Amino acid sequence: MAPLDELQWLDATAQAELVRRGDVHPRELVAAALRRIEALNPALNAVVWRRAEEALAEAGRVDRSLPFAGVPMLLKDLMGEMAGTRNSAGCRLLKDNVCGYDSELAARLRASGALVVGRANSPEFGLVPTTEPLLHGPARNPWDTARSPGGSSGGSAAAVASGMVPAAHGNDGGGSIRIPSSCCGVFGLKPSRGRTSLGPARGDVLLGLVSEHVITRSVRDSAALLDALAGPAPGDPYAAPAMEGSFLAAAAATRRPLRLALQDASPYGGPVHPECAAAVRCAAEALESLGHEVVEHRLPLDGEEVVTAFTVLWLSSAAEAVEGLCFAAGVPAAEPFFEPLTLVLAELGNRYSARELLRAHASLQRAARGVARSLAGFDAWLTPTLAQLPPPLGAFLPDPAAPTKDALLKGFHFTPFTQVANFAGLPAFSAPTHWSAEGLPVGVHAMGHYGSEGTLLRLAAELEEALPWFQRRPPEPGVPNL
């Protein structure tokens, strides 16, 4: 058994095995996570609300036969509703909001035996690829606290990377699981559209862009948690093809040679940092040494058309979120209820007509079909996860005196590879296979065909073995940077 002070560095699978064997009581796991949060959160601000007494009480009665019995986890402060927990979506208007029901994801996570110990920091409505809400303050990257952990699941990624919890909930509408996974040196899988349910309150989000899953340190945890979370719920508008067997078994299956497309240039024509290009090149070499075929192949995307259409959906979503809350709460669309950038994005979104929104959606659907045709002869598309290293805090924040949508446009050049999987509805992961000369994590990204999570998880497991990251740990308190 691992010493108690090392429990936080075990993955969720290993922690649950200790519980099943009776080597560790679930209360010990929860207490260890809460101590770690207490010690590190002043520096990282990854956790914005704690659920200590309730989680400790639940630890005393959890069924130890469940797959993740007693394992402490976090829910993101955006979606993932769970009755009795606070959920602000990073918005000051919702700072005292308490959920009255369980989302399908939260219900399934709890049914797996996981114990929710709190909420992870998220930007307001998840609109930007960093985690710096005015309500809670910025989350910080464990590898360099002057840098962003990414977003919008930045608090989740920072918590997992720093050993607060072995897994944390995330959602992904343009890369929000994969972006922070790359920035923080952890593993993040965005499932296929419809693989995990958004119910009961939602059929889809952003016309199908958003998927829910988790951020983990190990591939096996991501696969096993997908087994627990996957599958449609009554009323869901669509569902991904059913998996034959389990995702966990697929991740451990005997490898077969794959044909992989490789692209290290941005689909939108912007610059790609040399370390990001090096990450995917190194991963490609490792995969070739394992018998896979890697072919240079650029997707035929019209970058300007995609960015324009994606922006229409994103800004319309901001407008809908603000207008809906204003109507429900009887308040104006103004500060101090919403952040200046959110108000600007919502105002811009209000300028689009329903016709323009539908036209943008159709444009992205055409682009998605082009992606599918272009990748028909390949098993997956390999790219860097991001075009830049983890940015300094504040890099995406507008001038408070004159906020514009420039922060959103900067985001496209930061994350040119991740958005493709969202508008195409395809599964994709970020794996932390590379570290820069400065000691910053750099992710490699792989996107597969619809419903091909099993193939992607097997590929990720091979990368995890060939270019291991699990034993890497960020600095501890008392070390410069933290």
Catalytic position from the list 88, 152, 156, 222 = 152
Here the tokens at position 168 are 């944390």
On whether the CB atoms of residues 300 and 367 are closer than 8 A, the answer is no
Catalytic residue among 76, 190, 405, 410: 76
* φ and ψ at residue 461, rounded to 5 degrees: -65, -35
For residue 408, pLDDT over 80 is answered with no
Residue 181 among the catalytic residues: no
pLDDT at 482 over 50: no
Task: Give the residue among 104, 125, 75 at the shortest CA–CA distance from 194.
Answer: 104
pLDDT attached to residue 405 = 63
- Asked whether residue 340 carries a pLDDT value surpassing 60, the answer given is yes
Report whether 401 contacts 115 (CB < 8 A). no
Mean pLDDT to the nearest integer, 285-298: 98
Under the banding of pLDDT at 50, 70 and 90, the label for residue 231 is very high
Q: Are 248 and 223 in contact (CB under 8 A)?
A: yes
What is the 3-state secondary structure of the chain? CCCHHHHHHCCHHHHHHHHHHCCCCHHHHHHHHHHHHHHHHHHHCCEEEECHHHHHHHHCCCCCCCCCCCCEEEEECCCCCCCCCECCCCCHHHCCCECCCCCHHHHHHHHCCCEEEEEECCCHHHCCCCCCCCCCCCCCECCECCECCCCCCHHHHHHHHCCCCCEEEEEECCCCCHHHHHHHCCEEEECCCCCECCCCCCCCCCCCCCEEEEEECCHHHHHHHHHHHEECCCCCCCCCCCCCCCHHHHHCCCCCCCEEEECCCCCCCCCCCHHHHHHHHHHHHHHHHCCCEEEECCCCCCHHHHHHHHHHHHHHHHHHHHHHHHHHHCCCCCCCCCCHHHHHHHHHHCCCCHHHHHHHHHHHHHHHHHHHHHCCCCCEEEEECCCCCCCECCCCCCCCCCCCCHHHHHHHHHCCCCHHHHHHCCCEEEEEEEECCCCCEEEEEEEECCCCHHHHHHHHHHHHHHCCCCCCCCCCCCCCCC
| pLDDT one-digit tens code per residue, 10-69 | 999 999 999 999 999 999 999 999 999 999 999 999 999 999 999 999 999 999 999 999
Residue 479, pLDDT > 60, answer: no
**Catalytic site residue from 103, 176, 181, 218:** 176
Per-residue pLDDT tens for 88-137?
999 999 999 999 999 999 999 999 999 999 999 999 999 999 999 999 99
Query: Is residue 176 annotated as part of the catalytic site, yes or no?
Result: yes
Q: Decide if pLDDT at 280 tops 60.
A: yes
- pLDDT value, residue 3: 59
Mark whether 218 is an active-site residue. no
Give pLDDT tens digits for 254-263: 989 999 999 9
User: What is each CA distance from 222 to 39, 173, 343, 437, in whole angstroms?
Assistant: 26, 18, 36, 28
